[in-house]
């Protein structure tokens, strides 16, 4: 591992461990910090559950899981594995799993660049809000490792924030208004990620069934009142679908 990558990993580990440590200390009784987040998780977990049901998948791995919240919230019948380099992140994931009465979860402390799993380990391998912190060569390595542990057939999916969405545009103004601030995030468009999937799959000799891109999370900022999100927000989501918060690239392997 080169020194630049090592520094990035150390930075992300320290930053997110600190965030999860603060969240653990709060132990918020509410399931979601806002209606925006509740609606987002409902949208993405419904989508993933449909894919898993359609393909009769049994296992899910989140690589670089952080809180693992989306994985925790999907089908309770699944065998799930959360892998993260931060023991604090995994401790927070356990806390959330207890909160949502989720079972059948393995918590593994490990490096997503070299996962401690055999080939074809899991049917559905994914992460959200991870790869945008790394340069493209490192993203290639992450995707390569995710494909390695993905079953045949199986799906690998990566989610990145949409820099044209309301929440991220607001974060860009963090120097002027309080709230979430951007850190090491880089802008990648879906075509760049799709190209990496095509290149790495070819190198590994894996045949692709399809690659598609989906968008999740309301385009409006997270502080938008519930009644606005349920009315105007629904209309805006339909019209400006590609301005939604998360871009999820899904690659199905034969």
Query: Is residue 205 over pLDDT 50?
Result: yes
Is 125 exposed, middle or buried, given 0-12, 13-18 or 19+ CB atoms closer than 10 A?
buried
Helix residue spans in the chain (DSSP H):
3-26, 35-55, 69-73, 87-99, 136-148, 166-172, 190-204, 226-229, 232-239
Confidence of residue 42 (pLDDT cuts 50, 70, 90): very high
Q: Which domains, ranges and CATH numbers included, belong to the chain? A: 3-253 (3.40.50.150)
Residues 6+ positions from 111 with CB-CB distance below 8 Å: 9, 85
Q: What pLDDT digit, counting tens, does each position of 235-249 carry? A: 999 999 999 999 999
Copy the structure tokens of residue 148.
């390695």
- 7 — phi, psi (to 5°)? -65, -40
Q: What pLDDT digit, counting tens, does each position of 23-40 carry? A: 888 877 788 989 999 999
pLDDT for 139 equals 96
Q: What pLDDT digit, counting tens, does each position of 210-227 carry? A: 999 999 999 999 999 999
CA distance 153 to 120: 9
Q: Is residue 225 a contact partner of residue 200, using CB atoms and an 8 Å limit?
A: no
pLDDT for 177 equals 44
Higher pLDDT, residue 173 or 156: 156
What global pTM score does this model have? 0.93
């Amino acid at each position: 591992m080169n020194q630049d990558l090592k520094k990035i990993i150390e930075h992300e580990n320290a930053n997110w461990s600190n965030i999860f440590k603060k969240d653990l200390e709060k132990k918020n009784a509410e399931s979601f910090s806002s209606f925006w987040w509740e609606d987002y998780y409902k949208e993405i977990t419904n989508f993933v559950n449909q894919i898993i049901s359609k393909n009769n998948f049994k296992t899910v791995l989140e690589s670089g899981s952080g809180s693992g919240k989306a994985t925790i919230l999907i089908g309770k019948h699944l065998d799930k594995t959360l892998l993260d380099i931060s023991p604090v992140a995994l401790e927070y994931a356990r806390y959330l799993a207890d909160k949502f009465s989720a079972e059948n979860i393995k918590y593994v402390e490990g490096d997503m660049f070299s996962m401690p799993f055999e080939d074809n380990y899991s049917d559905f391998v994914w992460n959200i809000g991870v790869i945008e912190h790394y340069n493209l060569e490192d993203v290639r390595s992450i995707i390569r490792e995710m494909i390695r542990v993905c079953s045949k057939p199986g799906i690998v999916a990566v989610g990145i924030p949409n820099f044209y969405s309301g929440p991220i545009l607001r974060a860009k103004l963090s120097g002027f208004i309080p709230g979430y601030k951007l850190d090491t995030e880089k802008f990648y468009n879906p075509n760049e990620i799709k190209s990496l999937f095509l290149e790495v799959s070819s190198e590994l000799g894996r045949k692709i069934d399809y690659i598609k891109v989906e968008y999740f999370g309301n385009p409006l900022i997270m502080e938008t009142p519930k009644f606005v999100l349920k009315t105007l927000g629904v209309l805006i989501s339909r019209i400006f679908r590609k301005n939604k918060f998360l871009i999820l690239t899904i690659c199905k392997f034969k």
